Amino acid sequence: MSPSTDDDTNSGAIIQRLTALDNWPLRTAELDPVFFEASLTKTFPTAAARLAFRERWLGRFLEHWPELAHVAVGGDGVLLGYIVGAHKDPAADPRFADIGFYRELGHVTPQYPAHLHINLAPEARGRRVGSRLIEAFMADARVARLPGVHLVTGRDSRNRSFYARLGFAPVVELVWEGTPIVMLGRAT
Ligand SMILES: CC(C)(COP(=O)(O)OP(=O)(O)OC[C@H]1O[C@@H](n2cnc3c(N)ncnc32)[C@H](O)[C@@H]1OP(=O)(O)O)[C@@H](O)C(=O)NCCC(=O)NCCS
């Protein structure tokens, strides 16, 4: 895959493929503050629990599929946000066996096998940077000839309007560990 860039001077951010950055493996550490700030879980009983949480929702994607990750780079070179994900159906991939809700989604994930996680630093939100990260991920899914892309978010999350505007529609709603969640899907 070739490096991609997407410059939008109005938002002050460039969208770039993570692996196109100089020293990209070292720069992944800059994504941790963005991840933990955006996460709903704020406290962890142990350092190991914090690490496992990062591994679950961010680390494994950087490790196994760094080429699918895109980052938003601010004018000063700071990483303002990211999108990470995978192309293989997670309900059929043992590497996601720990994500309990996929046991209830295996009948629909073949239609939307790719999945994503996206987060921006607070100062980067509301300027359509997220939309451009999503479109970069969608473009890769199209090149890979996948039928669709999905994500799972809180049923009542503020980000629902963001995904709706980008064409992600509800596929399945369920309650997972006491929280109402929704799988949203978009055909490529
Ligand atoms: C969701 C997010 C990626 C959208 O990117 P963005 O560049 O801010 O999005 P846009 O400028 O294109 O659209 C703004 C929309 O983003 C969402 N958004 C903005 N700030 C948000 C926040 N603090 N929390 C959740 N969603 C937010 C809203 O849907 C907003 O639409 P609205 O103005 O109609 O409420 C980004 O706001 C973000 O990282 N939010 C916090 C973490 C999050 O929700 N990540 C997704 C987990 S599934």
CATH for 62: 3.40.630.30
Residue-wise pLDDT tens digits, 39-75: 999 999 999 999 999 999 999 999 999 999 999 999 9
Which pLDDT band, with edges at 50, 70 and 90, does 92 fall under?
A: very high
Residue 154 Cβ < 6 Å to ligand 1: no
User: Structural domain of residue 37, as residue ranges?
Assistant: 5-187
Provide the number of structural domains found in the chain: 1
113: nearest Cα among 76, 53, 71, 68: 68
Q: What's the rounded Cα separation, in Å, for the pair 172 and 154?
A: 12
Specify the residue with its C-alpha closest to ligand 1, atom 26.
159
Residue 10 Cβ < 6 Å to ligand 1: no
Exposure string over 19-44, b if 16+ CB within 10 A, otherwise e: eebeebeeebeebeebbbebeeeeee
Q: Which two tokens stand for residue 102?
A: 């996929």
Specify the residue with its C-alpha closest to ligand 1, atom 12.
128
Query: What count of other Cβ atoms lies within 10 Å of the Cβ of residue 108?
Result: 15
Confidence (pLDDT) at 2: 42
- Give me ligand 1 centre to Cα 94, in Å: 30
Residue 153 Cβ < 6 Å to ligand 1: yes
Percent of the chain with pLDDT over 70: 95
Residue-wise pLDDT tens digits, 93-146: 999 999 999 999 999 999 999 999 999 999 999 999 999 999 999 999 999 999
Mention every residue, 6+ apart, whose C-beta is less than 8 A from residue 119.
34, 35, 37, 38, 39, 81, 82
Confidence (pLDDT) at 62: 98
36: nearest Cα among 95, 158, 102, 122: 122
Specify the residue with its C-alpha closest to ligand 1, atom 14.
126
Q: What's the rounded Cα separation, in Å, for the pair 80 and 59?
A: 17
Confidence (pLDDT) at 11: 74
- The Cα-based distances of 62 to 25, 69, 74, 161 in angstroms read 9, 7, 20, 27
Residue 11 Cβ < 6 Å to ligand 1: no
Helix, strand, or coil here: 172? strand
Confidence (pLDDT) at 9: 55
More confident residue, 166 or 11: 166
Query: In the chain, what is the straight-line distance between the N-terminal and C-terminal CA atoms, in Å?
Result: 18
pTM, rounded to two decimals: 0.95
